[in-house]
Chains A and B, each alone.
Chain A
Amino acid sequence: AQSVTQLGSHVSVSEGALVLLRCNYSSSVPPYLFWYVQYPNQGLQLLLKYTSAATLVKGINGFEAEFKKSETSFHLTKPSAHMSDAAEYFCAVSPAYSGGGADGLTFGKGTHIFIQP
């Protein structure tokens, strides 16, 4: 069994400020972890993924996330928010044997980022 908890359904960030989205997971087997981004009226796009290599993962658009097994966390950060970061962000977990494909993903409820000028 696996599950994902994202803290906060929405966050408001000033342009240029740090972005921090929290994600905690639960998994009975070694997990792969993902962050997806959804822009308005679009599908989900992979932002970054952890697949048991380096614990600090860098993704697109300046985002990064750190896998902390002891805390069962995979928080997403970006040093300086940009207006174009306004979107919905989803954390997801998959059993490592499934690899993060279309069959085994479990998503969190999502966090919407609002960017203030």
Chain B
Amino acid sequence: EAQVTQNPRYLITVTGKKLTVTCSQNMNHEYMSWYRQDPGLGLRQIYYSMNVEVTDKGDVPEGYKVSRKEKRNFPLILESPSPNQTSLYFCASSNRLNTEAFFGQGTRLTVV
């Protein structure tokens, strides 16, 4: 089954403790992206990647890092999480022809 898999689905952590949210897709897609969803703000893009070792900032990249060492994986790294990064995070992927973006189930992160 074609899918985008995020882990974990839920995470509660403390301020300053480094964490990684993983994203993996099994569709051989070139493009991958991370969004955060906040009430009243919709989805905002954090980072995106157009292929292995090619990443670029989205609209709200501050406080986040990403890497794309393999085509299927696109982890989101929070080096020093802060409470304002409490949010619902989505990973998405699409192919080079870009007919449609496929989204993961989301990761609900709480930073206390």
Contact A110 B98 (CB under 8 A): no
Known: A44-B90, A103-B33. A109 touches B42 (CB 8 A): yes
Task: Tell me which of A13-21, A52-60, A71-79, A93-101 binds B.
Answer: A93-101
Contact, CB under 8 Å: B95 / A101: yes
Q: Which residue of B is nearest A49, CB measured?
A: B100
Q: Tally B residues with Cβ within 8 Å of A.
A: 30
Cβ contacts under 8 Å, A110 to chain B: 42
Whether B24 is near chain A, meaning CB under 8 Å from some CB there, is no
Residue B2 lies at the interface, judged by CB distance under 8 Å to chain A:
no
Closest to B41 in A: A109
Partner of B50, one of A44, A103, A105: A103
Q: How far is the CA of A99 from the CA of B30 in the complex (A)?
A: 13
Q: Does residue B84 face the partner (Cβ distance < 8 Å to A)? A: no
Chain B residues whose C-beta falls within 8 Å of the C-beta of A25 in the assembled complex: none
Expressed in whole angstroms, the minimum distance between the Cβ of B93 and any Cβ of chain A is 5
One digit per residue, 1 when the CB lies within 8 angstroms of any chain B CB and 0 when it does not, for chain A 86-116 equals 0000100000001111111111111000000
A46 at the interface (CB under 8 A from B): yes
Q: Do residues A103 and B105 form an inter-chain contact, with CB atoms below 8 A?
A: no
Chain B residue at smallest Cβ distance from A4: B42
Please list 9 pairs of residues, one from A and one from B, whose beta carbons are closer than 8 Å in the complex, sorted by A's number. Answer: A41-B105, A41-B106, A101-B31, A101-B94, A101-B95, A102-B31, A102-B93, A103-B31, A104-B98
B-contacting residues of A (Cβ < 8 Å)?
A: 6, 9, 36, 41-46, 49, 90, 98-110
CB within 8 Å of A: which residues of B? 4, 29, 31-33, 35, 40-45, 48-50, 90, 92-95, 97-106
